Amino acid sequence: MLAAHPRPGITRDNAFFWEGLRLGELRIQRCKACRQLRHPPGPMCPGCHATDWDFVRSRGRGTIHSFVVAEHPQVPPFEYPNVIVLVELGEGTRLVSRLAGSDPESVAIGQPVAVEFETVDDDLSLHLFRRLEA
Ligand code: ZN
């Protein structure tokens, strides 16, 4: 039996992000006052403290800013070794994700990646990244 996938904590401030994933969009929150992009989503702009925001759709391309190869403890339903990446998107924000289809030995900082989407069930889709040919 497959273990249930852990559920993200969905709030008023990040619902747009998870909704975007279900639609195959990677969304980035944007301050309506100063236009600064930010991630993870929050109620207030760290730059100008405005609370009005909307979002933009990321092009879904970036580079590996940092990564870690998780081997223990092995928590279902994830596959191991599980390569966790901190991706710096072309838009400038960073997000933590999972690297698909990779030989962990060959992962390196600076490699270009592109987003993909994985449907877990009717209510949950996740983002993951895959390396592009350099
Ligand atoms: Zn702002």
**What does the alpha-carbon distance between residue 7 and residue 18 come to, in Å, rounded to a whole number?**
11
| Residue 44 Cα to ligand 1 middle (Å) | 8
pLDDT classification of 84: cutoffs 50, 70, 90: very high
| Residue 88 Cα to ligand 1 middle (Å) | 20
| Residue 56 Cα to ligand 1 middle (Å) | 14
The predicted pLDDT at position 61 comes to: 98
- Residue of 59, 70, 68 whose CA lies nearest to 26: 59
Is the pLDDT at 1 greater than 70? The verdict is: no
pTM (predicted TM-score) = 0.90
pLDDT digits (tens, 9 = 90+) for 17-67: 999 999 999 999 999 999 999 999 999 999 999 999 999 999 999 999 999
